Every structure is written in C-alpha cells, then in structure tokens.
Amino acid sequence: MRLTQILFSQGFGTRHECLGMIVNGAVSRAGTVLDDPELDLDINGLVLTIQGQDWPVHEKALILLHKPTGFECSMKPKHHPSVLSLLPGPLRVRGVQPVGRLDEDTTGLLLLTDDGALIHRLTHPKKKVPKIYEATLKHPMDETARQQLLKGVVLNDDPEPIQAAAAELPEPTRLILTLTGGRYHQVKRMVAAVGNRVEALHRSGFGRLRIPADLPPGAWAWADPADL
C-alpha cells in the first residue's frame, strides 16, 4: 500500500494532510525518515513513527479500553463525555465505535472497532460470546439466589427465562456473573429479579480478552482479534 494511503487509512487526516506530513519528514520507520508519498509498503506487521509517536498499522482497528465511570458509550452523548474522547484523534477519525455498551456508571473492558462485520459477530445473540461481570451487591446473596441466576430468571420484557452461563460468589456481596447475551441493563435486572441490587458493576472479560494488569482506567491498548 502506498505510504499516503496508509496514513489516510489510519485516520491521520485527509490525503492532502497525510501527503504534507510525509514530505515534511514527520513519518519514519525504524529511525529512517520516509519522505516518498508513493513508497509502497507491506502493512503486515508494519510500525511507523508518525509525528514522534509509534503507530502499528492495522487494516481494521480493535481497541481494548479500560472504561472509567462518567463516560457514555455513545457517538452522541447526552449527559457525560463519550468514551471516544479517551482515544487519540486518528482512532476517532477512522470511525471506531463501541462493541455494545456499558452504562455510564459501569467500569471495565470495552471493545471498540471500525470493523462492522466484527461488531455483528460479537454482538449477535447466536454467537454467545461470554462476558464476565463483577458486581458489588447491596445485600448478601445466598446459594438459593445464585442457583436461581443459573436456572434462569424472568425479566419484565421477555417471558422466556434468562440464564447466567456461570455465577460465583467469592464473597456474600460480590458476584461474578458470566453472560452470553447483551440485554439492556441485564446484570442489574437479573440481580433485581432475585431480590438484590447492584451497587457497582465492572466488566472484567470479553471472550478470552481480559484487562491487562498495567492498563489503568481511561487508558487503551490494541487488542488481538484472535483472543476473542
């Protein structure tokens, strides 16, 4: 792929702006300035340094964000900043969007991508991609309630029982719930259905992906689609 097209595809501006960055010496690879806009490069494994920032080239972006509280998973937020404001400009320009949603007060693992087919695969109910949630409960939960979550509870918008794929109680007021669906406020509503209340909610897993130990709230990292 030509160097100008690579920068454009990665969200570094219009083609004219990308051309200007190249001829002005703002793009390099392994310490060598690349000043030929027509230079043809293999993008597989390619890492460029653009305006002093190392940038691995990805045909499609898959981003893992450690979402903090106080941000909406929306392109047009109403009450709080969008999670997109936590990402660098090139990722926003190329059009990444959240894979599903986390509530404003929910923290944890949020995926964002510009791959529409991947979004469909990860959110379609038939794919049953597991997501792990850690909930802090208002009241202690007993074994009967935990078993109810595994057997299925009825929510007010669907007569069919909704089951958790797994439910663990490491502490009486701490619930680790694995779900393969993605209904609106599903964890909170399932917990309410067994007579309890979620006080805080954190998503710790999506597929085989987990939040890296060194990724603080508000920070992001490239994710490998193979880990899903």
**In this structure, which amino acid lies at residue 163?**
Q
Pair 203, 182: CB distance under 8 Å? no
User: Rounded CA gap, 51 and 17, in Å?
Assistant: 13
Which of 103, 105, 214, 227 is labelled catalytic?
A: 103
Q: Report how far apart, in Å, the C-alpha atoms of 9 and of each of 28, 35, 90 are.
A: 17, 18, 9
Pair 130, 207: CB distance under 8 Å? yes
Sequence-distant (6+) residues with CB within 8 A of 168 are 175, 176
- Provide the terminal-to-terminal Cα distance of the chain, rounded to the nearest Å: 28
Nearest to 86, CA basis, from 218, 217, 214: 218
Count of CB atoms situated within 10 Å of the CB of 12: 23
User: Catalytic site residue 42?
Assistant: no
Residues with active-site annotation: 103
